[in-house]
Structure 1
């Protein structure tokens, strides 16, 4: 009989056979908790009472005095006779009638086995169909991606080859022109050497000397001679080189996206239609024509800009990317449209850089304060007002948590992000990523949004970071009245120029105010405070 057992099943022996004549078990009685061979099983198969009240199952291995598989309810100590389809567990009659399973979908073992087996078979068939479709889709995807990357690599090779040929051909032409001077000098020297008449030799020597000096001055290591031809060639090489680098970047980004889509994504693939709301623009700011860049046009004060154009979601998530100036403190994230004037009321969920620290902001509901005595509530409100905390009559507060490291990697210390990607998995979570380079990103933090507010909107809050006014300057202001001190700061324009921005600090009677001159480069571009991309 043991020969008929599946090879992967452990042989279970009859508990009723003598030790010297153990036979393989055919069934196990769940009520008696014993395994029986064909001979000892006859009583259970022929006695009507045992046949009706003693359920049999496939042989189950015995442990030290009991079955390895539990056959009795741990709560009631009764035999497990039913299966709860809601909780997917075996239960006894007391569980099915009296306790937590009494309103659940209960089945006998045989019925549950039949229904679940049919379900498994149906799901297996569906998986097979899905797998067949996935294989076809995968083959098609692989073919398309190989063709796309192949075309990209071919274009890249062609661009590199054309750029190389262009530069070498022009330089070779220039070198060939220089060779003329050497050939001319050789001809002049040969003619002078063959001239025997002293007078004629001296007359021609001046030209021979000039040709010789020109030949000596030839430098084959130089590029093209200065002039319009070289300038045009440099411009053409620069333009072609920029296109080539763009192709290199796209090719590189595509490879990274295929290998690690979680941390690398192509910028073009996530480019959004978002823009800054011009109605929230301050007098000290100007906006680009496409509404995606904010420029500093004067004295920058704290200003909150709303981001518009978020009309659709991919996989129920919104995504936007923003770059931020090093000269500003900032807060980005989601806020209540109705409370976007000063971020003092309503829901706020965001990432904040201020005082050289990175923090997360989340809004929490307050339920305890409403139960406090009136005097304690007044005292709590007074303490919040002295600490410049938001008014929380609405039963909310903004919780600030300093972020010391990126994501789960405690060894990676936090640095000031210059480019941030925000992903809003609507409506439950808000994630922030530090964009490193063009395609790589590192997760900073994910915030849980517990609010059901339907008026949440993306925003950015900009504020000129405090530079720290010298103590002796403040003392002079207090002593002598009105006074001014000038500081200089540098900022780099996108054209490559490094500009100096003058900053006057005005004071009167112990107070000090800063005023910045407009930051405009010689090329006509103003410094970008933030940019959507």
Structure 2
């Protein structure tokens, strides 16, 4: 019976290069190559060539298309015998598998099985490998090997292949690795110990090194596990920092995009306002100039008329008429012509200069803190603080953890600036960057800010539609609003010693997060800093 490898090689020789299958009715071309009859007919139809330009699919040799394909009788016979042999091989293999299943054995050879090198007809599995002879022995041949006195000193190990045998020999001398160099931590042969650089090193036997290794194994394993755990923890921290960096980048990108969008919107709005003011001044000055132009045109007409009359009087020969005409012209009152060499643009330039100055101060100052700040670090991302109100005994106030409400005015509302009571947060801040948000839509007069409760007080005040910023009793900024602010965000940066106020009214309506900077104030370095609140109407609440 043919061996499987022989059948596989023969199958490759009997494969059609067109359909990649065993020849079916093989035919031959004049170049000597053979194909399935059906395959070569398909090639002839696909080429659509004249009769003298047909090419062999395998070697591209040109030849005239054959009038009739000639069968390859001998090749057909070989193919048939191959198919018969293959069927017998398959049947025999199936029979062997069935017998193995009945005996409870595996039909396939074991990949790691080492066979005896001395068995001739049917090799038996090896039970030992002799390192000196470099041969593997079954149980029967092992008995014969051990019975010879001059072979009793040979080293016998578990069955292994040639690769393992090579690893157990010295690469320099080809001898067995019977010793272990403690100094260099390598296995060596006897010649290495006697002649090479290991002569002065500490040498022990491989068996002794094996015993030491067995004793050290648990400790070494635990050390590696601890190292693996430390690396895993470090990797986890790095991944966490990576996510923090990404989150920080998204935060600052969104923050700056919102800021620049607000700058653009406010610049466009202020541009319209300034251009409108310039147009109004232009109209007013043009109106004044038009009236002066009209007066000057009338004066010019009168002067031109006098000149014409006077020139006509030059030819008058009658003394009486000449004197009377000249006296009449001289008697006419000539007004002094005003000096209008240039148009007064001082007012226009003043308006433009003042408007630009106010634009820079009001629009760009709140952004200086964020745009010109140093590059953000991992600690520069503000932490959102969910604050609660501290208990307060002030008359007319109701205070719980999240709501500060006026139930009775403690003094006439006509003097709101004299409010003396403040409610502080229960939490104070010593360092870091923090922010909190306050819902202000239910009050038309409120104060929100920060204080150390003794040395300074910085706050944003809303009085109906007037917005003011104070540091202690000094007003820093003031402007009017068309609509009330519905939510305020306070950002406290203890490192830079600043507090920023932002309008986040859009967030209260469920829209995308949008901030409008109001002001950024430098505060004294006095800690701890608490959030401070005050109202004289309605209520304030913490989300």
Which TM-score band applies after superposition, normalised by the shorter structure? 0.3 to 0.5
* Larger helix proportion of the pair: 2
TM-score by length of 2: 0.32
TM-score (norm 1): 0.32
Higher CA-based Rg? 2
Q: More strand per residue: 1 or 2?
A: 1
